Every structure is written in C-alpha cells, then in structure tokens.
Amino acid sequence: MGYKYGVWLVYDKYAFPTTHIGHFTITCFMEKTDAFSLYNDLLATYGKYHYIDVKGNIPIIFDKNMYEDDDNDMGSWGYEGKQHDWENFKKCTNTYECNFSQIPHTSIEYYKTHSVEPRIIDDICVKCRLVVADITDDDPLKWNILV
C-alpha cells in the first residue's frame, strides 16, 4: 500500500546518505489527481525551490505509523527542519484529503524490523525542489518522482 501519492521537497543526494529519494514530506496519502493539483497550487504561489534549515545535531527516531492513515508499520530515523512557508503550505492543503506533515522532516533510513543507529551531523541548510511523488509501494527504493 505504501503512502499513496504525495507532495515532497526533494534535495540532492549529496546532502544526506539515503538509499531512497531524499525528501521532506509535505503531504502523503493523496489521490494522484489531488497531488498534482496541490503541487500546481504550491508551485504557482510559492515557487519550485525552497530552503530548509536542518537540525543535524538532534537525530530523531520517528514512530511507526506516524501519519493518521498510516498502517505500514515502517519506522525511520532522520532530522527535523524549519522552512518559513510551512504554515502556508498547511493552509493550502485544507481543501485536499491528505495527511500533512506537521513538522518538516527527512527520513534517512527506513526500517520495519531491524534497529537503526541515528547519526549526529552538523546543522545544514538544504535547497529542495517541489515534486509530486508516487509512494504507492511498500519499498521506499521503489518510490518515484512524477514531476
């Protein structure tokens, strides 16, 4: 089942060592047409590129099933960040059926059964681009950017 479709802010591979597409989730559990519509709304109002200040000195183990509609039993570890338009992004999602990510965060490693070892890094500011993501697969390595 995965996380259906979503809107992400994607960063370049050099920023963090991920095996999956590195991203900050804005929304997930969306229908495909709604994800494209939200993407177009955000793109028109806020643009394609955004910066996120990441708190690397505080790695976090994120709970399994952290979203309202999440029953994937997949946890992760990663970092939280700050982005100045985040509350405005939230307002844009009010007309869509979706799960909004209340705090900007990036997952560095996903897990179902094994333990993980979060790593402390220096704080960093990453440049991200707005995308629509197909996150319908249970395997993060099979997630794709649609636009």
What's the confidence (pLDDT) of residue 48?
98
Per-residue pLDDT at 125: 97
Instruction: Give the global pTM.
Output: 0.93
3-state secondary structure of 70: coil
Which string of b and e fits 11-29 if b means at least 16 CB within 10 Å? beeebbebebbbbbbbbbb
Report the share of the chain in percent with pLDDT over 70: 93
Report the alpha-carbon distance of residue 69 to residue 17 in Å, rounded. Answer: 28
pLDDT tens digits, one per residue of 39-75: 999 999 999 999 999 999 999 998 765 666 655 568 8
Task: Locate 1 and state its tokens.
Answer: 């089942």
Tokens 């994607």 appear where? 10
